[in-house]
Chains A and B, each alone.
Chain A
Amino acid sequence: MMHEHDFDLIAAIAEGAMKPHEQAVAEASLASCESCNTDLQLQREALAALHTAPAVIMTDFERAALHRYVAAQRTAVDKRSGWKPTVPWFQRLLPAMAAAAAVLVVVGVGTVFVNRAGDADLVAETTTAAGQSPYPAADEGKAEARSGAPNDDTAEAPTTMAALGAPQSIIEEYGSITSAELANIAGRMGSFEESDAADDYSADRLRSLSLDPALICSDVALDEGTITAIGRATVDGDEVEIYQIDDLVKVYSIAECSLVASFE
């Protein structure tokens, strides 16, 4: 009858886990035990056979099936259990906090920039009112009015872009966006109230500024109504200009000079 320590010893000998001199002593200690020697031989035969076992390799087909199945089941598990990964609240807020900080920095820098630019414009308009105005017709009266009340004029900056919480400029740049984001932007633009900004986006003024060839291209938009906001973006790879004209927000393709979308 074999005791527990016996199979420990036999296994150790069979595995070759002992130092050579210890191995010799251990094997000698089993010399008088016939069943121990039989077991040692069987252990060695089994290990020798197991060591010849080839590696198991998953085929590409099996691997793809595994990933496909697990992906599908993960979705099902999430839906069924409503399980959500545990994320500490402060980690969940990190992206939002970073975005908020970035917006604050941009708004701050933009405000400083616009204020400085506004002051420069005011000086320019005041000094050119006597005949050097870059806005010869439509802005003549406005320049005269501004020349009399410079501080009030600064306070009358267009409110349309301010409503976006973004830096104020003639054309709002939205960068590369999706069509869904375009609809969202159009919705926000459509909520702008008409204001004195209409003066700043007057067709005559925009034409006179010659801001961008694209604006000239979409000249058709300029006479359609009162423009209260203009944006520019790349929607799914296509460059467009976005106009709030009266109660509509219209989107024009820059490449084709044509209306591609309209939002009420």
Chain B
Amino acid sequence: MSFRSAEDAQLVSSFLEGDRRAFDELMRAHEDRVFAVCLRILTDREAALDAVQETFITVYRKAQQFSGASAFSTWLYRIAVNTCYDQLRRSRRHRVQPLPETSDPADDRSEDALGSVELRPDLDRALANLAPEFRVAVVLSDLEGLPLQAVAEALDVPIGTVKSRVFRGRRLLAEHLRNLSGSSAHQRGDHDA
């Protein structure tokens, strides 16, 4: 058990014994990473903030259900991902739209600092066009650096499924990036002509 995991377990225990400050500490320790995961899944800051809020309220309500079999962070990610899935289902505006045949070139200057996902704009677009199950797997594994076993526990799927989703997610991501890059080059060529 890592230092963070041990500390988390102690904080959960303290919280369940009535120490409300322990919950505050847990929240402070994890809120940034949960926000990052939600933002990368939902690709919208406001929606991500909503999801983080719901995530921590769920943790507050259901802390007694945390068994300690996995790390607290894994349990937390599972709640966060499920909350994001709920948001994606509830809100049409967060549904992923297929890329147009020729999309506009990515332009850093047109991105509002607070409105963007803060990834590279092309990467942002490519990630947003992945199906949620691939996007979540790639985000947790490659962007958040969770071990595959932890991703499997967080998503409640076999580790083989995680490997498959990460692999296919990366492949689709690279293909989207190639398409975006190709269409940008094509449009630049048109302008040059």
Residue with the greatest number of chain B CB neighbours at <10 A, chosen from A7, A41, A63, A85:
A85
- Supposing A7-B164, A58-B35 touch, asked if A42 and B170 sit within 8 A by C-beta, the answer is yes
Compute how far the CA of A2 lies from the CA of B164 in the bound complex, rounded to whole angstroms.
Answer: 11
Q: Is B177 an interface residue (CB 8 A)?
A: yes
Q: A66-B49, A85-B18 are in contact. Are A46 and B61 (CB under 8 A)?
A: no
Q: Are the C-beta atoms of A8 and B17 separated by less than 8 Å?
A: no
Neighbour of A70 across the interface among B45, B57, B178, CB < 8 A: B57
**What 1/0 mask marks residues of chain B from 141 to 181 whose CB sits below 8 Å from any chain A CB?**
01100000000000000001001101101110111011000
Q: Is B53 in contact with A70, judged by CB distance below 8 angstroms?
A: yes
Chain B residues, Cβ within 8 Å of A7: 163-164, 167
When distances are taken between beta carbons in the complex, the residues of chain A under 8 Å from B163 are 4, 7-8, 11
Confirm or deny: A29 has a beta carbon within 8 angstroms of a beta carbon on chain B. no
What residue in chain B is nearest A43 (Cβ atoms)? B170
| Chain B residue nearest to A11 in the complex (CB) | B167
Q: By DSSP majority rule, is chain B's interface helix, strand, loop, or mixed?
A: helix
In the complex, chain B residues whose CB is within 8 Å of the CB of A85: 15-20
Distance of A74 Cα from B170 Cα, bound (Å)? 39
Q: Which residues of B contact A46 (CB under 8 A)?
A: 138, 142, 169-171, 173-174, 177
Interface with B: A47-55, A192-200, A205-213, A238-246, which one? A47-55
* Complex Cα–Cα for A45 and B142 (A): 13
Contact A74 B173 (CB under 8 A): no
A–B pairs, 16, beta carbons within 8 Å: A10-B167, A14-B170, A42-B174, A46-B170, A46-B171, A49-B120, A52-B120, A54-B120, A56-B35, A57-B32, A57-B118, A66-B31, A73-B53, A74-B20, A84-B18, A85-B16
Residues of A within 8 A of B (CB): 4, 7-8, 10-11, 14, 39, 41-43, 45-47, 49-50, 52-59, 62-63, 65-67, 69-70, 73-74, 77, 81, 83-88, 91
